[in-house]
């Protein structure tokens, strides 16, 4: 049986490490705290990949079930959420492959990065606060816009900009190169900026 050191690696939060250690000793309460801490993030990841609520709920359950049965495999060399996300992504992709007629491009397909012409200001893709739209309405618009992205862009955007994983973590999790992550993130941000700008332009025309 694998043994984990009592001292947490620098990369994993002390609180997560303590809960993982306790869960490995079959403390269900400790694992339930990990579930409560990360289930919303796992659900958002799953629904942004599958675009389907019931599928996302199933993926959350499968992710935590597999995580609990595989805790011995977690070595603390990455954040606990990164490890969970890897399981969730695999579950989501398997779910998509089982869908009849699914034709999306595989996540590992290489793309031209095109980074030489990347505009420096793209990072700030969010609407200006001065646009004064209700937060709930904006969230709904953003969710629809993210859902309209193709899978390879949607997954990278979710992991990098929403879950705030590093480029390297995202690349490892999705099994693609770091230049591909940067390229897809750029394209996702560009597409979202275009969609949001178009929406706000229409709103300004309707409500001058």
- The tens digit of pLDDT for each residue in 44-71 reads 999 888 888 889 999 999 999 999 999 9
24-28, 61-65, 110-114: segment of lowest average pLDDT = 110-114
Tokens of 87: 């399981």
Say whether pTM exceeds 0.75: no
**Residues of the chain above pLDDT 70, percent:** 70
Given this model, what pLDDT does residue 182 score?
92
Tokens 């025309």 -> residue? 205
Q: How far apart are CA 148 and CA 138, in angstroms?
A: 15
Given this model, what pLDDT does residue 12 score?
55
Instruction: Give 139: exposed, middle or buried? Use CB within 10 Å, 0-12, 13-18, 19+.
Output: exposed
Task: Report whether 159 contacts 150 (CB < 8 A).
Answer: no
Q: How far apart are CA 201 and CA 103, in angstroms?
A: 32
pLDDT band at 125 (very low <50, low <70, confident <90, very high): very low
Given this model, what pLDDT does residue 206 score?
63
Task: Give Cα 92 distance to the centre of its chain.
Answer: 11
One DSSP character per residue, 54-100 reads HHHHHHHHHHHHHHHHTGGG--SSS-HHHHHHHHHHHHHHHHHHHST
Distant-in-sequence contacts of 111-115, Cβ < 8 A, 24+ apart: 111/152, 111/180, 111/183, 111/184, 111/187, 112/183, 113/179, 113/180, 113/182, 113/183, 114/183, 114/186, 115/179, 115/182, 115/183, 115/186
Domains along the chain with CATH numbers: 14-98 (1.10.1740.10), 115-206 (1.10.10.10)
Q: How far apart are CA 20 and CA 37, in angstroms?
A: 12
pLDDT band at 198 (very low <50, low <70, confident <90, very high): confident
Q: How far apart are CA 99 and CA 183, in angstroms?
A: 27
Tokens 């700030």 -> residue? 124
Q: How far apart are CA 141 and CA 49, in angstroms?
A: 17
């Amino acid at each position: 049986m694998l043994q984990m050191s009592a001292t947490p690696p620098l990369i994993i939060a002390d609180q997560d490490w303590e809960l993982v250690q306790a869960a490995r000793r079959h403390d269900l309460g400790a694992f339930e705290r990990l579930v409560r801490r990360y289930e919303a993030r796992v659900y958002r990841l799953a629904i942004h990949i599958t675009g389907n609520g019931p599928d996302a709920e199933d993926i959350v359950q499968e992710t935590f079930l597999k995580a609990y049965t595989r805790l011995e495999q977690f070595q603390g060399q990455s954040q606990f959420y990164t490890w969970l996300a890897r399981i969730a992504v695999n579950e989501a992709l398997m779910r998509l492959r089982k869908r009849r007629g699914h034709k999306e491009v595989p996540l590992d397909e290489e793309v031209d990065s095109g980074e030489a012409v990347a505009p420096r200001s793209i990072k700030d893709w969010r609407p200006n606060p001065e646009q004064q739209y209700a937060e709930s309405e904006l969230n709904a618009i953003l969710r629809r816009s993210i859902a309209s992205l193709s899978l390879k862009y949607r997954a990278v955007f979710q992991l990098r900009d929403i879950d705030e994983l590093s480029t390297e973590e995202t690349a490892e999790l999705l099994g693609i190169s770091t230049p591909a992550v940067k390229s897809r993130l750029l394209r996702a941000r560009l597409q979202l900026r275009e969609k949001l700008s178009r929406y706000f332009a229409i709103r300004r025309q309707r409500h001058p």
